[in-house]
């Protein structure tokens, strides 16, 4: 089996599981299982095995869900980044923003600082124009 087939299969599986795990019905089902487990406590005399069932089950589910959700989140992030790159390339935006997700933390902070300064300048210019229009109309 090729890596591409396995990757596509896992991506489809991860998407399905992520979608299902985010539904209210799934949450209600999980709560119902915990309530059933808690209610069975007296039947099993609150034994170590009874506790082990919930501890092991939740640990295994959590462990597996980390990989499933991370895969889904990685694909969503890459898809979003590709869409943003396309918007940048097809607009008058500066092409230097394409691929900035690959910059290191310091470079991203510096770019963010420069953009914040630029935004302040644009805001000041917009405010000056609004004030000027207001003076003219008064």
Retrieve residue 99's tokens.
């691929």
Those residues with Cβ within 8 angstroms of residue 44's Cβ, 6 or more apart along the chain or in another chain: 50
pLDDT per residue as tens, the chain (138 positions): 678 898 889 989 998 998 999 999 999 999 999 999 999 999 999 999 999 999 999 999 999 999 999 999 998 988 888 888 888 888 887 777 788 888 888 888 888 888 888 888 888 888 888 888 888 887
Q: What are the residue ranges spanned by the domains of the chain?
A: 3-73
DSSP state of 96: G
pTM as predicted? 0.63
In the DSSP assignment, the letter for residue 92 is S
Cα–Cα distance between 111 and 101 in angstroms, integer?
11
Residue 41 in contact with residue 50, Cβ under 8 Å? yes
Count the Cβ atoms, other than its own, within 10 Å of residue 40.
13
**Helix ranges restricted to H, the chain:** 3-21, 24-39, 48-89, 105-137
């Amino acid at each position: 089996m090729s890596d591409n087939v396995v990757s596509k299969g896992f991506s489809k599986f991860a998407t399905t599981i992520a979608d299902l795990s985010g539904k209210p019905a799934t949450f209600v089902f999980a709560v119902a299982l915990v309530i059933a487990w808690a209610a069975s406590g007296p039947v099993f005399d609150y034994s170590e095995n009874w506790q082990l069932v919930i501890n092991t089950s939740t640990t295994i589910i959590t462990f597996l869900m980390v990989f499933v959700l991370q895969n889904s989140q990685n694909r969503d992030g890459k898809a979003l980044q590709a869409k943003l790159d396309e918007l940048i390339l097809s607009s008058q935006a500066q092409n230097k923003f394409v691929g900035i997700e690959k910059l290191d933390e310091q470079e991203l902070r510096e770019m963010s600082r420069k953009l914040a300064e630029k935004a302040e300048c644009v805001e000041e210019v917009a405010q000056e124009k609004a004030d000027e229009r207001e003076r003219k109309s008064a």
